[in-house]
Structure 1
Amino acid sequence: MRRRALYITGILSGIFTTLITIFGILLTNKMMFLKPKNPDLIMRREILSRRFDEYWYETVRKDDMWIESPNGYRLKAVFLKPLETTRTVIICHGVTENKINSMKYARLFERLGFNSVVFDHRRHGDSGGKTTSFGYYEKSDLRAIVQAVRERIGKRALLGIHGESMGAATAILYAGTYEDEANFLVADCPFSDFTEQILHVLRLETPLRTAMVIRIGNLFLKMRDGYSTNLVSPREVVKNITIPVLFIHSMEDDFILPYMTEELYEAKIGDKMLKLFQKGAHAKSYNDNPYQYELTVQEFLGRFGFSQ
């Protein structure tokens, strides 16, 4: 009888382990291999909305850049130079998007006297990389971009970073982890903590509502991609940022909740500014409030001495 009980227990344990393994792999697959949007869809969307001007892009002075990532692949960037200036902004897109989504911000900063560098995050657009890590590996990619741009524009040139969603979280992780080589940062709808963000999405979109899911996911994420979600926490590093930061969010955002930006703003020490728009879904603050958005960035630049 005892042998039979041990046999049954062994079978049940094996089944449980197999189910946990399958669940862990499926969960981490969803995170690591989140499908980027179709590039043609992004292009059509931006053209139809008049946020991307094909003629301007074809005729503007620009250089293609291929930058070696410290993580072992190449990053594709485009240095847009419509103006005779060294003032430059690096623009970081959100997850599943690509550099075409960044063009609207390039035009905004052009009006404010800046050239810009748009680039594809790892595993997006034309860049290499096998997985998406929501800022963990992307922050060191951004560091490589910043260093490459600094070499081109010089150490004394004004350099800013604009990030949207995952791009904003990446920018904060970069600026809070490494020595600041940029002069200012605009963070549009970042998450403050990736673990909390995953739990929010799970509760929003699935019946999985416990932290146990995250613990299982982290076990497999560490084995498969070398990090865990607790290492992707802008909230933990934002206090290290010494440069001025403009935090932007829309109150209608139900994907990354506005409290996360408010939390980051409160934790940031020193020069900072916060703008919460009443209108706009996730990553739509500029789309739905273009005039007010530009005025906000202009005010921020003026307040901290970065205007022309």
Structure 2
Amino acid sequence: MKKILSTFIIFLTFFLLGAGYYFSTSIVSFPVTSLEEDKTKLKIESVADFGLPEPESIRFQNGSLRLRGWYFKNPKKKKCGVVLLHGHTRTRYGVLKYAPLFWKRGCSLFVYDARHHGESAGEYGTYGFYEKQDLERAIEFFSEISTVPEEQIGIFGASFGAATALQYAEGRNDFAFVIADSPYMDMRSIIEKRAVDLYSPLVLFLSPIALSIAELRADFLVDEVSPKKAAKYITIPVLIIHSRTDEFTPVSHSEEIYQNLKSNRKQLLVTDWGAKHCKSIDLRFDEYESVVNTFLKEKTSFPK
């Protein structure tokens, strides 16, 4: 009987570790979408679809990691710039729909693929843990090539990009603002939410194992990935936008972040437009743009 029990325990241990490793792969080593695949999926013909000229292809380094993206130099030559951050498993194409919000204002734009996304290098994605460091280097590089002061560079992020922007903003006052569309409040809760959506609540018993293995593989700390915690130390202007009918990332995530924000120049827009995840701008662009313009005018010193 003892031998049977020991064999069962060994088998169960190996099963849990194997299953945990498998799920950790989907968490931090997910398949990378190519630029062409994303462009096709989004039905984009070219950047001209968004009123943009052909960009300058750029490469920049964060340590040994090489990241790739586009630099759009605005002919109006205003001293303002915006970094646009795409969502999880997407590429820089996925965030171009937001570009007209700032291009029409005369601002130059900087769009790049996050690590382990698109054309950028990186074996693992860490939901903002290392990506916020990449963002710091991106802003420095953008400022260097555009001559726009970092204090006049804002950040717009969608979903994972929004969460990264908020984590980067923790304790900083050396850039203009954050606009975050549909962020998650922390890595653990969004991973568990999506696991339940894809499989069943029964998979939750595996999530601590999978997340622990993911931490070891990618050398980071899951509980440190938390825009909600970061919000307590954010003092710059922040606009959060989230659809009430977002089933992918519940609106409660943005509400929790907003409640934690230390900044007294903050705004939360919960849209009731029937939009899916990060789709509010697709349904009512003019209203979306109006909210962004009002925020920039009333809450920031960004060039008009």
TM above 0.5: yes
Residue 104 of structure 2: aligned partner = 111
Go from structure 1 to structure 2 and tell me whether the alpha carbon gap of 1:202 and 1:106 turns closer, same or farther (over 3 Å shift).
Answer: same
**What RMSD, in angstroms, separates the aligned Cα atoms of the two structures?**
2.1
Q: Which runs of 5+ in 2 are unaligned?
A: none
Which of 163, 168, 178 is matched with 2:162 structurally?
A: 168
When structure 1 is superposed on structure 2, of 291-300 and 80-89 the one drifting more is 80-89
Letter of the aligned partner of 1:20 in structure 2?
A: L
Distance apart, 1:97 and its partner CA: 1.0
Measure the CA separation in 1 of the matches of 2:13 and 2:50: 57
Distance apart, 1:9 and its partner CA: 3.0
Which of 19, 24, 27 is matched with 1:31 structurally?
A: 27
Tell me, what secondary structure is at the counterpart of 1:252? Answer: coil
Which of 281, 286, 289 is matched with 1:286 structurally?
A: 281
Distance apart, 1:257 and its partner CA: 0.4
Tell me, what secondary structure is at the counterpart of 1:273? Answer: strand
Go from structure 1 to structure 2 and tell me whether the alpha carbon gap of 1:210 and 1:30 turns closer, same or farther (over 3 Å shift).
Answer: closer
Letter of the aligned partner of 1:79 in structure 2?
A: Y
Which of 253, 267, 273 is matched with 2:246 structurally?
A: 253
Distance apart, 1:76 and its partner CA: 0.8
Residue 5 of structure 2: aligned partner = 9
Contact 1:51-1:103 within 8 A present in 2 as well? no
Measure the CA separation in 2 of the matches of 1:222 and 1:155: 36
- Superposed CA offset, 1:134-155 (max 9, x none): 1111111111111222333253
Contact 2:24-2:214 within 8 A present in 1 as well? yes
Contact 1:112-1:298 within 8 A present in 2 as well? no
Tell me, what secondary structure is at the counterpart of 2:169? Answer: helix
The answer to whether the aligner puts 1:226 opposite 2:219 as a matched pair is yes
Measure the CA separation in 1 of the matches of 2:265 and 2:158: 20
Contact 2:114-2:131 within 8 A present in 1 as well? yes
Measure the CA separation in 2 of the matches of 1:45 and 1:303: 37
Measure the CA separation in 1 of the matches of 2:180 and 2:151: 21
Which of 170, 174, 177 is matched with 1:181 structurally?
A: 174
Residue 66 of structure 2: aligned partner = 74
Tell me, what secondary structure is at the counterpart of 1:53? Answer: helix
Which of 14, 18, 24 is matched with 1:18 structurally?
A: 14
Distance apart, 1:45 and its partner CA: 4.5
Measure the CA separation in 1 of the matches of 2:188 and 2:4: 36
The answer to whether the aligner puts 1:42 opposite 2:38 as a matched pair is yes
Distance apart, 1:52 and its partner CA: 4.2
Number of residue pairs matched by the alignment: 299
Percent same amino acid among aligned pairs?
26
Measure the CA separation in 2 of the matches of 1:121 and 1:87: 22
Measure the CA separation in 2 of the matches of 1:55 and 1:307: 22
Contact 2:87-2:161 within 8 A present in 1 as well? yes
Letter of the aligned partner of 1:162 in structure 2?
A: F
- Indicate the structure (1 or 2) with the bigger Cα radius of gyration: 1
Go from structure 1 to structure 2 and tell me whether the alpha carbon gap of 1:180 and 1:65 turns closer, same or farther (over 3 Å shift).
Answer: farther
TM-score (structure 1 length as normaliser):
0.90
Contact 1:36-1:95 within 8 A present in 2 as well? no
Q: Which runs of 5+ in 1 are unaligned?
A: none
Contact 2:151-2:176 within 8 A present in 1 as well? no
Residue 215 of structure 1: aligned partner = 208
Measure the CA separation in 1 of the matches of 2:131 and 2:199: 27
Which structure has more relative contact order (CA 8 Å, sep 6+)? It is: 2
Contact 2:152-2:176 within 8 A present in 1 as well? yes
Residue 297 of structure 2: aligned partner = 302
Go from structure 1 to structure 2 and tell me whether the alpha carbon gap of 1:157 and 1:180 turns closer, same or farther (over 3 Å shift).
Answer: closer
